[in-house]
Amino acid sequence: MSIQVTTQNEVILKWRIPSDYAGNRSELVAVIRHSSLIDGTAVWPNSTFLREVSALTDYLILPLINGTYMVKFKDLEGRKSLSPLNHIINIPDEKPKLLVQTVREDTTSPPFQGQLNDVFYSSEYDALVLNNDDLVDDKVDFEQGYLGSIDFGGELFSSGEYFFKDKLDLGGIFTVEFQRILTTRGLYPNNTIDLHFTNIDEWSDFDGNTPDETNAVIQFRKSNDAPTDDEIENENTDGKW
């Protein structure tokens, strides 16, 4: 696996299917994910999804994001490589850009004060985590209802949303670049070592399930009209967004 910087904002990622693979190569898919870590400690579950393409293409043009690019191969049955190929890249800016604003909603007090849809801030994990469909009022027996974790007593939602608390008004129309600061972690909160109550010899799997499909996406909207908060809310309510 190799990576080549082609422009200020793009790279070409190249890979090879392992020579000892005995299956049908035309059926293999390359799954590409990314982690912001540059110290060699990046792992597959704690990364975000970038692309999925036929493995025979053996290369892909991707956005340049400092961190670790990872590739796994997947067959028609959904089985993936045990270990990913990976490549670390850390390119400093040749020309420092004018910094307009840094927004870190994970460092405010309390963290993440924006709109939360099916997610909540967990002080245990110091992160936004998916909520669940469980309600305390629905429990007949409180202790029996929460043998695991009180925060994750029901079925976890498959997705959620967080909206940043404030918008940014540049005071004019400019060409801007956004740099994301994103750290992700995939886990099943009710399948951790701390929530095993039986003898370790009775565990069927020490490592637990692998959260192989965890993902996070950051999206932006822009307007040249500088709408007010009320106008944004009305447009969102009317289904125009």
Strands (E), the chain: 2-5, 10-14, 29-35, 48-54, 59-63, 67-74, 85-89, 115-117, 119-122, 127-130, 161-163
Helix %, strand %, coil % for the chain, to 5? 15, 25, 60
The two three-digit tokens of residue 120, written as one number = 């909540």
The single-letter code of the amino acid at 24 is N
pTM, 2 dp: 0.71
CATH 2.60.40.10 placement within the chain: 2-89
Can you tell me the distance from the alpha carbon of 118 to that of 160, in angstroms, rounded to the nearest whole number? Answer: 5
Check: CB of residue 48 under 8 Å from CB of residue 186: no
Angstrom distances, CA of residue 202 to CA of 29, 49, 181, 196, 198: 37, 35, 41, 10, 7
Instruction: Given CATH 2.60.40.10, say whether it is the number of domain 2-89.
Output: yes
Handedness of CA 7, 215, 39, 51 (dihedral sign): negative
**pLDDT class of 206 with cuts at 50, 70, 90:** very low
Q: Report residue 155: phi and psi, to 5°.
A: -80, 125
CA torsion, ordered 174, 175, 180, 181, to nearest 10 deg = -50
Q: How far is CA 140 from the centre of its chain?
A: 36
Q: Give the per-residue pLDDT at 111.
A: 93
Q: Counting beta carbons within 10 angstroms of the beta carbon of residue 230, is it exposed (0 to 12), middle (13 to 18) or buried (19 or more)? A: exposed
Check: CB of residue 154 under 8 Å from CB of residue 134: yes
Angstrom distances, CA of residue 206 to CA of 15, 201, 202: 32, 9, 10
Of 170 and 4, the structure prediction assigns the larger pLDDT to: 4
Q: Give the per-residue pLDDT at 240.
A: 42
Tens digits of residue pLDDT in 102-157: 888 998 999 999 999 999 998 888 888 888 876 545 554 545 444 445 555 567 78
Q: Give the per-residue pLDDT at 222.
A: 81
Query: Stretch 26-49: mean pLDDT, rounded?
Result: 93
pLDDT at residue 8 tops 60: yes
Q: Report residue 26: phi and psi, to 5°.
A: -70, -15
Tens digits of residue pLDDT in 61-110: 999 999 999 999 999 998 899 899 999 999 887 666 777 788 889 989 99
Can you tell me the distance from the alpha carbon of 82 to that of 96, in angstroms, rounded to the nearest whole number? Answer: 40
Question: At 201, is the secondary structure helix, strand, or coil?
Answer: helix
Q: Give the per-residue pLDDT at 166.
A: 87
